Amino acid sequence: MPADRPIGIHDLSFSTTSLVLTHAELAAHTGAALGKYHHGIGQKEMSVPAVDEDIVTMAADAAAPIIERHGAGRIRTVLFATETSIDQSKAAGVYVHSLLGLPPNVRVVELKQACYGATAALQFATALVHRDPTQHVLVFAADIARYELDTPGEATQGAAAAAMLITAEPALVEINAPSGLFTHDVMDFWRPNHRTTALVDGKKSLTAYLTALAGAWHDHRAHHGPPIEEIHTVCYHQPFTRMAHKAHRHLLETAGTPADTATIEHAVAPTIRYNEIIGNSYTASLYLALAALLEEDDKLDGRTLGFFSYGSGSVAEFFTGQVTPGYRTALRTRAHREAIARRSPIDYDTYRRLHTQPPHTDGGRHALPHRTRGRYRLAEIHDHQRIYEPAPTRGETHPATEGP
C-alpha cells in the first residue's frame, strides 16, 4: 500500500462521570467570589466520580461506541495514557480490553508523562499505522484531577476519558508532520507515589507552560512546520480554560503576530465548551478541546489546526492536523452532550465526603454500591484486585446523589 496515505483520528468519543459539582455551589461554601471561577479561571462546573467510577470505567464507556461503529477486528494495539494510574504494574488498558471484549492478539501499553501522555500515544499510533495501514490503534486518555481541599487547585478539578481510533484515511483529522518538541526538568506539578492528590506551584506552572509553548513552536518552525498564518486556530491543553486564552496570546506574540483580546476570544472560544463544564481532565483535556471545536465549527473542511500538548515536569509538543472534508458526519455531538446532561448535581457536603473517602488498602473484600450512570462499573476491590463489570441499564441505576 502507498506509504503516503493520510493517517490520523478516524473517530473520537469521550465520557465523563455521573456526578457534577457546580462552581456556584463551591463558591457558596468556600467564600470565593463566583467571578473568580467563571471569569478568573474560566470554569463553571467540575465532573466528580461516583464511588464505582474510575479511569477504566470512563475509558471503556468512551470506547464502546467506537467498537460498535467500527468493530474490533482490525485493532492491533491499545495505548492508554494517564497520570492517575490505578496500578504500578498492570496497564489500565488491560481491564478495558477485557470489558470491551477485544481480541487476544493485541498489544496493550500504558503511557505516562503528566498531561502530555495522550499526545505521545497519538504519535506512536500514527507511526504504527504508517508501518501497516491495514491496522487500527485505539488510544485512550483518561484521568481524574484531584487536589487537596481548600487549595487553589481545587476549583480546577475534573474527570473525563477520550477514546480515539487511529487509522489510515481518517474521517476526522489527518495528523501532519513535523512536530515541535520541548522538554525541561521543572517541578511545577507532581504527585509522589504515596499521595492521592497532586502538588502544584501555580505561578511556576504557568511560566513553565508558556516557556514550553514558545520552545515547541520555535522547534516546529525550525523543522519547517507551517507558519501561524496558515493555521486556522489552535487547540490547547486546558488545565483551566482561561489558560487557552493566555496561551494563544503568547503564541501569537512569539510568532510575531500579536492580536487584540477580541481576536483571541474568537479563536479560542469554540474549543472550551466541554472543558469549562467538565474541569481539568489532564491527558484528555486537549482532545476534549478538539471535540468541542469540531462540533462548534461547521466550516473546517480542509483547514489546518494547531495542537499544543503540555505535560508538567515538563514535556510539550506543537503539531498540526488537517480536517477531513465531510468530518461532521463522523461526529458524536449528541452522545457527548447527553453524557454531560446525565450527570447528577451534588451538594458541597456530598462532594467533600466523596473526596475524603479513604482508599481500600487493607486487602479485604469491599463491594461498591452501584452509582454510575455509565456502561461499566468498578464492582469490588478484593485482595487488592479491582473487579469490573458491565453496569445494569441506566434505567435501573440507583440515585447517584446517595452517599458513598
Query: Is there a binding annotation on residue 176?
Result: no
| 246 has binding-site annotation | yes
Provide the grid cell at 397.
441505576
For residues 179-207, average pLDDT: 94
Q: What count of other Cβ atoms lies within 10 Å of the Cβ of residue 132?
A: 12
Q: What are 45-93's pLDDT values in tens digits?
A: 999 999 999 999 999 999 999 999 999 999 999 999 999 999 999 999 9
pLDDT of 398 above 60: no
Per the annotation, does 280 bind a ligand?
yes
Q: Which fold has domain 7-172+332-396?
A: Peroxisomal Thiolase; Chain A, domain 1 (3.40.47)
- As annotated, the residues of the chain forming the CATH 3.40.47.10 domain(s) are 7-172+332-396, 174-325
- Is residue 148 part of the annotated active site? The answer reads no
Show the beta-strand stretches assigned E in 156-237.
158-168, 173-175, 180-183, 189-190, 199-200, 233-236
Task: Assign domain 174-325 to its CATH architecture.
Answer: 3-Layer(aba) Sandwich (3.40)
Catalytic-residue membership of 115 = yes
- Proportion of the chain in helix, strand, coil states, percent, rounded to 5: 40, 25, 35
Q: What is the pLDDT of residue 268?
A: 98
Q: Helices 242-254 & 261-268, crossing angle to 10 degrees?
A: 120
Q: Establish how many alpha carbons lie within 13 A of residue 172's alpha carbon, considering only the half-sphere containing its beta carbon.
A: 20
Give yes or no for a contact between 270 and 233, defined as CB atoms under 8 angstroms apart: yes
Residue from 10, 45, 110, 115 carrying the catalytic annotation: 115
pLDDT in tens, 305-323: 999 999 999 999 999 999 9
Q: Does 235 qualify as catalytic in the annotation?
A: no
User: Which one-letter amino acid corresponds to residue 20?
Assistant: V
Give the pLDDT confidence score for residue 399 in this predicted structure: 44
Tens of pLDDT, residues 5-42: 999 999 999 999 999 999 999 999 999 999 999 999 99
Number of H helices, E strands in the chain: 12, 18
Contact 339, 12 (CB under 8 A): no
SS3 20: strand
Radius of gyration (Cα) for the chain, nearest Å? Answer: 20
